[in-house]
Amino acid sequence: MTDTRYQYIDGEWIEGDSDDEMTVRNPAVPDDPLATFPRADREQTRNAVDVATEASEAWEETTPDERDSLLYDIADLIDDNVDELAQTLTKEEGKALSSSRGEVSRAAEIFRFFASYARTATGETIPSSDPDTFTYTIREPLGTVALVTPWNFPIATPSWKLATALVTGNTVVFKPSSQTPMIAKQLVELLERAGVPDGVVNLVVGSGSTVGDELTTNDGIDGISFTGSTGVGRQIAQAAADRGIPIQTEMGGKNPQVVLPDADIEDAADAAIGGAFGLTGQACTATSRLIVHEDVIDELTDAVVERAESLSVGPGMDDPDMGPAVSEEQDETNFDYIDIAKEAGATLLTGGTRPDGLESGYYIEPTVFTDVTSDMRIAQEEVFGPVLSIMEASDFDEAIEIANDVEFGLSSSVFTADMASARRFANAIEAGVVKVNGATTGSQIQMPFGGMKASSSETQKEMGQTAYEFYTHEKAVYRTDP
Ligand code: NAD
């Protein structure tokens, strides 16, 4: 019999207390459920918060050496189990197996990167105006933090939140997406094996409206780090504001790739394809608008369509270029937006249907529209699927105007041979991530990650050299010796 204990509270694996069951499906074979188990309820979530709060004092007192060696052990265990983790990820989320392996390895790298912060993340000594007073800052953990995560990077995103929260001395209640609880369970099992003390990390699997809501409103939670959609993120930010606790929300995107007339068109086409269709368009940084100078739009459009039509689509376990959409709901959303774009007058160049022979999973062909303008919903709303809109601009200024004419501001890219144009783009674009001659997708662990506008609460960035700041209080100390 399969193990139905998905809740990890105070070092024990237990069943959810709710009467509701959750079924996890493989989006490549939805009729064959992977797991069914009871969800956690509100009371169980409260219990997890209480347990994490009780564990706080002892965890905060652990030495930097203890914390860094624990994080290195977690990284090693993730690496040792890369095959098993990648297979679970692909079965549950649908992405191609090589992408899953890449994500799992990145999770290990993340734990290693943040391990070093146990010994180095610290306050500052600041010159004092008074020679008898020593002025410095110290950083202390927030206490117990809630980590609420989406399904699209179901091991990398929890890892960068968990690693940073733990290394700074916080205890955690982790709520993964209901689409991807299996990989979350396996990750927490590895944390347990590495020796994370009881109560320090707790996993609560259940719905956003009960478990998620309890975590965002519970008085025992001292900070919330959320990644997900803008609608939910704003709701959580509002609840956190009412309680006056720190909040980090990284949310949706509508990311532009701008192509200027002096760009390398082959490189620009490769980047657009990778950015729009890699991970089935289910990356928050996915390219959804290709904004092209009128002089090169025909050439680039031909190159993009040719490449899109050559992509393989199929079950993630066969390692195709593109796997299925994650869920029935996302599948419906993808096809809804095809209709919305057509009705608004966009021209479908390729895709827009389910590929032949793949009727049973949530598949869609890589889809490219042209004649898209900013007043259309397809140019404004996040689809979160493999749908690319080509938009024409007559010059640099118009390209920037189109690129910025959305509520989101997560990632962006410009293709040009002229570094003065690249610099102007980097200054004018309203986005937290800017790529020059690179895809909107992809990021480096040591670089800060996060958006602007409706893509982020812009409190503190994730990843990078200062990601730990979110998880700490900063105190300014004035010490005058007697
Ligand atoms: P989602 O907002 O539906 O869910 C995210 C998490 O919030 C899940 O764990 C969910 O159960 C929980 N949740 C839902 N309702 C809640 C509530 N009322 N209270 C508390 N928690 C609640 O997002 P999703 O569908 O899982 O993920 C896709 C979205 O995430 C896209 O919009 C994508 O752009 C975004 N995303 C952003 C980033 C980024 O770094 N900016 C990264 C990945 C994904």
Tens-digit pLDDT string for the chain (482 aa): 589 999 999 999 999 999 999 999 999 999 989 999 999 999 999 999 999 999 999 999 999 999 999 999 999 999 999 999 999 999 999 999 999 999 999 999 999 999 999 988 789 999 999 999 999 999 999 999 999 999 999 999 999 999 999 999 999 999 999 999 999 999 999 999 999 999 999 999 999 999 999 999 999 999 999 999 999 999 999 999 999 999 999 999 999 999 999 999 999 999 999 999 999 999 999 999 999 999 999 999 999 999 999 999 999 999 999 999 999 999 999 999 999 999 999 999 999 999 999 999 999 999 999 999 999 999 999 999 999 999 999 999 999 999 999 999 999 999 999 999 999 999 999 999 999 999 999 999 999 999 999 999 999 999 998 999 999 999 999 999 99
Collapse the DSSP code of 5 into the 3-class scheme (helix H, G, I; strand E, B; otherwise coil) and give the result.
coil
3-state helix, strand, coil in the chain (%, to 5): 40, 20, 35
Give the position, in ligand 1's atom list, of the atom nearest the Cα of 239. 19
> Which uninterrupted H or E stretch holds 184?
helix 181-194
Nearest to 30 by CA among 280, 334, 324, 353: 324
**Which of 106, 229, 458 to mutate to test ligand 1, by most ligand atoms within 8 A of the CB atom?**
229
Which pLDDT does position 1 carry in this prediction?
56
Cβ atoms of 460 and 119 closer than 8 Å: no
Report, as residue numbers or ranges, the catalytic residues. Answer: 284
Give CA torsion, residues 358, 362, 365, 370, to 10 deg: 160
Give the position, in ligand 1's atom list, of the atom nearest the Cα of 231. 2
Taking the complete model, does pTM exceed 0.95, yes or no? Answer: yes
- As a whole number of angstroms, the longest Cα–Cα distance in the chain is 82
Nearest to 467 by CA among 157, 52, 105: 157
Residues enclosing ligand 1, CB less than 6 A?
A: 148-153, 175, 177-178, 208-209, 212-213, 216, 227-229, 232, 235-236, 250-253, 284, 382, 384, 410, 451, 455
Quick one: CA dihedral 149, 155, 157, 158, positive or negative?
positive
**Which of 39, 152, 329 to mutate to test ligand 1, by most ligand atoms within 8 A of the CB atom?**
152
Nearest to 429 by CA among 257, 252, 292, 227: 257
Nearest to 123 by CA among 168, 166, 160, 162: 168
- Name residue, tokens 């943040």: 114
Other CB atoms within 10 A of residue 359 CB? 8
